[in-house]
Structure 1
Amino acid sequence: MPPKPQAQTRPKPAASTLNTTYLLAYNFFSALLWLSVLGRVAVIGSAQGATSGKVYEGTERFARLTQSLAGLEVLHSLLGVVRAPLLTTLMQVASRFLLVWGIAYHFPQTTRYSPAYSSMLVAWSVTEVIRYSYFVFALSGFGVPRLWTWLRYNTFLVLYPVGVASETWLIYKAIPQAEKLDQKFGWVLYGALASYVPGFYMLFTHMLSQRRKIMRSKNV
């Protein structure tokens, strides 16, 4: 599922300069990587079209490796480096890994020409650029600009449904190919699709609640 801007809280105060420096570097580097993903999708998509297969060819490996870096966030949560809940972080990373490794990488024949692949990457990358840069501002000590707070707690209203719709479509289209390998793989993907129904409701309503709190407290 696409990242939920409100589900993760601001990183807790760093215990050391080294900890702060590491988190600043991680978030800054991650923001740059996702900005690069967004740029590639925008440039290739506008020139070649979202269904030409060129977006997939030009972004799949880079996007997969960029998303794989987010696996560190499970470790961050486990070790208490940030206050993000371990379970929700693990679920978020696992769902992303399913898309980049289980679907896009293993079933290019159903992903390459689908516009859902481009829309998924746009939803992910815009959200991640905002999220990671928000943490950079917060950790830097200079404060988060009001615009960035507004973006972080409002863009999910559009990006989250777009991302979920794109992800579920890509999973659905991959099922016939997965069943050719083993019927069990098809059932696994059906199970993944089923999990999006309660997952979307719980996460989206939680984000709406968090948005109300932030908008009221920050008067954004």
Structure 2
Amino acid sequence: MAHPQKWLIAYNSVSASLWSIVLFNTLFLGTLIGQPYLFEKTNFVTTIIQTCALVEVFNALFGIVRASFFTTLMQVYSRLLVVWGIWQFLPESPANSHWSYITVSIAWSLSEIIKYSFHTTTLKGETPDWLVWLRYSAFLVLYPLGVSSEMIIMYLSLDVGKAVSEYYYYFIWANLVIYIPALVHLYTHLLRQRKKALGKLKAKGEKKDEKKNE
């Protein structure tokens, strides 16, 4: 295997590019053809790109990165539940032609472009202050938008899931219930990270000002 840092730089750079494709598809095709054609044309590509995030679970599990394994697992699992558990397993779900497909694609893609760009520049040692701020502030809007869209998608899929299997119906419901405490846990975790990161950014700015005034 290549040097871990080189591997991580490559992974994050490619991931940012792939999510840029998702964002472009959503905005361009969404405007051009709208739903339900947007889902038909883009869902499988988005599913494959999102599935690549399993690499992050592996990295967290084996300590290749410092991210929390449990937090990473929760984030990846919730998205895989949508892309595989709904989009691929329940292609007839009304959720797939709903506006929530557009909002979840926008929220995910913007979040991931920011995250992977941040990680790439951090590994290279050249992260601009504006990207640090964006990394720890954009989630304030994008995270609730993404999670609420995911929940809408699952809720709208309940009847179709029940038609497939009674067990699958209750499986979706169970995940909807779990979303509430998981949302609180992940959001407060991100808020703690934000306070710490922006505190360092503020201190950095103050040091720069002191040097200018010397």
Task: Please report the TM-score for the alignment, with normalisation by the length of structure 2.
Answer: 0.90
Name the counterpart of 1:146.
129
Q: Distance in 2 between matches of 1:69 and 1:202?
A: 24
CA distance, structure 2, for counterparts of residue 209 and residue 88 of structure 1: 13
Whole-Å separation in 2 of the counterparts to 1:209 and 1:92 = 17
Aligned pairs (5 A) from 1:1-220 = 18-49=3-34, 52-109=35-92, 110-141=94-125, 143-219=126-202
Q: CA RMSD in A?
A: 1.5
Segments of 4+ moved more than 3 angstroms: none
Unaligned runs of 5+ in 2: 206-214
Identity percentage of aligned residues: 36
In 1, distance between residues paired with 2:62 and 2:186?
24
Mapped contact 2:154–2:172 kept (Cα < 8 A)? yes
Instruction: Report the Cα offset of residue 197 of structure 1.
Output: 1.0
Structure 1, residues 85-121: CA drift from partner, whole Å, max 9, x if none?
A: 1111112111111000001112222233100011001
Tell me which moved more, 75-84 or 33-42.
75-84
CA contact (8 A) 2:104 2:145 kept: yes
CA distance in structure 1 between the partners assigned to 2:85 and 2:121 by the alignment: 34
Opposite residue 172 of structure 2, the aligned amino acid is L
Amino acid at match of 2:29: I
Deviates more, 1:121-130 or 1:203-212: 203-212
The one-letter amino acid of 2:122's match is: A
What letter matches 2:98 in structure 1?
A: S
DSSP-derived class of the 1:165 partner = helix
Distance in 2 (CA, whole Å) between partners of 1:115 and 1:129 is 21
> 2:114, 2:135 within 8 Å by CA — same for their partners in 1?
yes
Note the alpha carbon deviations across 1:114-139, whole angstroms, 9 max, x for none. 00011001000000000001011011
Shift of 1:17: 7.0
The letter of the residue matching 1:26 is Y
Deviations 1:52-86 (A, max 9, x none): 21211221011000011111111111221111111
Instruction: Determine if contact 2:95/2:152 at 8 Å carries over to the other structure.
Output: no
Shift of 1:209: 2.1
Equivalent position amino acid for 2:127 in 1? V
Larger % of helix: which? Answer: 2
TM-score normalised according to structure 1 size: 0.88
Kindly indicate whether the alpha-carbon contact (under 8 Å) linking 2:158 and 2:172 is maintained by their aligned counterparts in 1: yes
